[in-house]
Each structure stands twice: as C-alpha cells, then as structure tokens.
Amino acid sequence: MKISYHGHSIVKIETNGKTILIDPFITGNELTDLKADEVKADAIILTHGHSDHVGDTVEIAKRNHSQVIAINELAVYLGKQGLNTHGMSIGGAYEFDFGKVKFTQAFHGTGFETKDGQILYMGMPAGVLVMAEGKTIFHAGDTGLFSDLKLIGERHPIDIAFLPIGDNFTMGPEDAAIAAKFLGAKTVVPIHYNTFPVIKQDPARFIELLEDQNGKILEPGDSIEL
C-alpha cells in the first residue's frame, strides 16, 4: 500500500490495484503537486462539503468514472450532478472493492457556497477510516479536538493518521498533538496548514509536541509505504 500527501488535505491511497483520493482540492491550491485534468482516481472520498475539500471532485469523477463516497446529503447533491455516488453516515461502514470505509465524528462546519452565494447544508462533517490490506488509515477531516478521538483509536488501531494543524478553522498544533495521543496512531502526519495566510503553521513545531507517536512531515508528492 502506498499513501501520498498532496497539499492542504489531499491524501491519495493506492491499494488493491485501486487509487483513492481524499478531499481533492487542486484548483486554487497553490501547494499541491497535482493537476486536476491529469489526476486519476477509482474512488473519491469526501470528509465534508466545504469547497476546499470537495474541490475538483466533479471534474475528476466524470473524467475517470470514479465512485464518490461521502456523507449522504453531500452524496445526494453530487449525484444530481451526474456522479456515481455512495452515501454514508457517521458510524456507518461499508466494504468497497478496495477496502472498508467508515465515517467518524468531526467538529466543524458543513455548508457549501453556490455560485450565487447561497449556503447549502451538506450533512455532518466527518473523519474517515480506510481499512485495506490489514492496515488502517485515519483522515480526521477538518475538526477541533474532542475526547472521543480516544475511542476511535481504541476501536480501530490506526497505522497512520492525518491530522489538521492549521488552527483558526481546525485544531492548532497543541490540540492536534493531544488528538494524536488520544488516537494512539503509529504515525501521524500534519495536514491542512499553510494553504492560506490564516492557517500558517510550522509543522515541525507540531512534531516536537508529540509524545509517543512517530510524527512525519510530508511535502506535496511525498509518500509512505505501509
């Protein structure tokens, strides 16, 4: 299994002959190494409905005939745009051809702003567990710190966790370090920082705050083999 990071909250998982993209915000993301018109994906998983996470999902999914996996309200919205979607809800799991996906809680917003300025409800924000090849990957989505992260880690031993550290909209480095301790993940990677001035952070500071976890900074395009 190969897992790579591509700036902001984009994570790519290559497993069981499939490529899965999480939160493909490419257009408008100056930190990514990906190009929206070239990236390939068999499946796209979305943590929530904000534009910096839905990103280029529609274009990528239509070009690749990707299946889009999302919280049900967001899946319904994207399904009406002609995408092949699979709606889920927090706490639910489903076995796909590449592995199992389970959505978890996240504490954040959820609205999607349309071109005419309306804000549409897109269901609850979420984190996501991807379980394949005997490994478990956790993408926390956008969230603040909450104590049930400990329960998530106890229920699903995590090999690698991607945690937001940008502050302002999500956890900052201090809270994210506590979240890493709660989760007990073997490896922790910081995400959702430096894309915009308001979430400017030094990822090395986050790594220094970790106690028992192995922290690893991935630059866009860097990967980890599990």
Inter-axis angle of helices 57-64 and 72-79, nearest 10: 60
Residue 118: CB atoms within 10 A of its CB come to 9
Per-residue pLDDT of the chain (226 residues; tens, 9 = 90+): 999 999 999 999 999 999 999 999 999 999 999 999 999 999 999 999 999 999 999 999 999 999 999 999 999 999 999 999 999 999 999 999 999 999 999 999 988 888 788 888 999 999 999 999 999 999 999 999 999 999 999 999 999 999 999 999 999 999 999 999 999 999 999 999 999 999 999 999 999 999 888 999 999 999 999 9
CATH of the domain at 87: 3.60.15.10
Number of domains into which the chain is organized:
1
Per DSSP, the three-state class of 57 is: helix
Locate 48 and state its tokens.
């929530």
The answer to the question of residue 223 being in a domain is no
The answer to the question of residue 28 being in a domain is yes
The answer to the question of residue 222 being in a domain is no
pLDDT reported for residue 159: 98
- Which string of b and e fits 15-46 if b means at least 16 CB within 10 Å? beebbbbbbbbbeebeebebebeebebbbbbb
Task: Please state the three-class secondary structure of 142-173 as a single string.
Answer: CCCCCCCHHHHHHHCCCCEEEEECCCCCCCCH
The answer to the question of residue 176 being in a domain is yes
The answer to the question of residue 198 being in a domain is yes
The answer to the question of residue 226 being in a domain is no
Domain ranges, residue 74: 2-215
The answer to the question of residue 220 being in a domain is no
The answer to the question of residue 152 being in a domain is yes
Alpha carbons 175 and 157: distance in angstroms, whole number: 20
